[in-house]
Structure formats: structure tokens, C-alpha cells
Amino acid sequence: MATFEGLESFEEENLHKVLVSLLDNKDVVTKTEIQNPLNMARLVSIAEWLEAYNMTKPANFLREFIKMYLTYMISHDRKSRGEVVAVLGEGMKEERRLRQKLTSNMEE
């Protein structure tokens, strides 16, 4: 059935895009569970302050620390793996729902 083949291809592409975006290292801030946002905001502010006063090396050091911390926190309690499993599960549920809907429409 050509209809299902097109749908499968579309669904696979969308799931692939979601998985890639969850697993890549872009936009780490939005993927990280920050335990204490106030302290993180303080560190970012201190880095900006250091840069404003031409203390580039300490500012860069602090920014690198923040970047590493955020990257490591993505895997804290392996929550990112759970998100991947949740996305796959939801994608499979949606695929089943769409198949049932299409099949029932074709039978009518």
C-alpha cells in the first residue's frame, strides 16, 4: 500500500529528527536539568562581569566550566536516555493510532 509507505517514511524521518536533536550537543542549556538555576545564573553573570573588565582568561575558564557542567548534567540520572525511550514510545503509539485511523477509513 503506497499510502502506508509514504506515512512510514514521514514518521521515520520525524522520529529520526527528534532523536538527533535530543542526542546532539547543540542547545545544551535547554536539554539540561539545572539543579540550582540561581547559582547557574550567578556563574553566567560572573563570567560576563569578568569579560566586561577585560579578564578574558578567567571569563573563558568559567564559561568552559559552565559548558562542561551542562553537558554532564544532561546524563544526570540518565534522564536523557529516558527521554529518548519516551519519544520512541510516543512515536510508536502515534504510528499505531494513525494506522488504525487510516485502516478504519479505508474499510468504510
Please report the pLDDT score of residue 42 as a whole number.
97
CA–CA gap between residue 65 and residue 56 (Å, rounded): 14
List the pLDDT tens digit at each of the 108 positions of the chain.
445 555 555 566 776 776 676 666 676 666 677 889 999 999 999 999 999 999 999 999 999 999 888 877 776 665 656 666 676 777 777 777 877 877 776 666
Q: Give the CB-side neighbour count of residue 52, counting CA atoms within 13 A.
A: 6
